[in-house]
Amino acid sequence: HFVSPVYMRALTVQVPPRNPRFLAPVAHESLDLRSYAGSPGRSEPRPAPSKFPPPPRSPGAISPGRPTELEAAADLMTGRHTQDQHERVVSAVTTACRQCVHGFSWAEAGSVNVLLTGASTLLHAGRTEYEAPVRDLLRTLSRPLHATRATDDVTFEAEATALLNSAVALLLSAVPAIAMAAADLLVHLTAL
């Protein structure tokens, strides 16, 4: 069959070159080919951005990745280079107790135990500057532990038990003020 050139020109549609000003705007996420699994730049797809803002934090919530005052004080007390800086440790413990005046949380029980056992050991070794921090720890510990999650009492049971054992051991302290603070702690705990 013979087709005339005039007929062929009528069948072909000439498309003008694309002008970017007339194209519809496209989201940049859909143009990024690295987000596909088969792309050489990435082996897995990117997660979709969150449509909701993060939930608001409560004022006493612990920020992730940042140690609390109690953890920082426990690190000072157990640190290889800072364990002999007694004034700094005493100041950190006092500051942490002042900030937790309404009581400690269940999650802080491990750090409080480190501070209480370390300070009481140093107190019995003759470091009298640790008397006030031990009393402050026992006074703050006499308030109920705060839960940030419903399962905190189960999750931190071992740390809380070790902390209470350390506090009960202070009943036999040679320092009368420490023994009285430990007895006061036990009175408050049995009243709960």
- pLDDT (tens digit per residue) in 110-167: 899 999 999 999 888 888 999 999 999 999 988 888 888 889 889 999 998 898 888 8
| Verdict on whether the full-model pTM lies above 0.85 | no
Long-range contacts of 166-173 (CB under 8 A, 24+ apart): 166/113, 166/116, 166/117, 166/120, 167/116, 167/138, 167/141, 169/120, 170/116, 170/120, 170/134, 170/138, 173/120, 173/123, 173/124
What pLDDT score does 13 carry? 56
Q: Which residue has the higher pLDDT, 18 or 100?
A: 100
Q: Looking at residue 67, what is its pLDDT?
A: 62
pLDDT at 16: 59
- pLDDT band at 58; cut points 50, 70, 90: very low
> pLDDT tens, 153-164?
899 999 988 988
pLDDT band at 99 (very low <50, low <70, confident <90, very high): confident
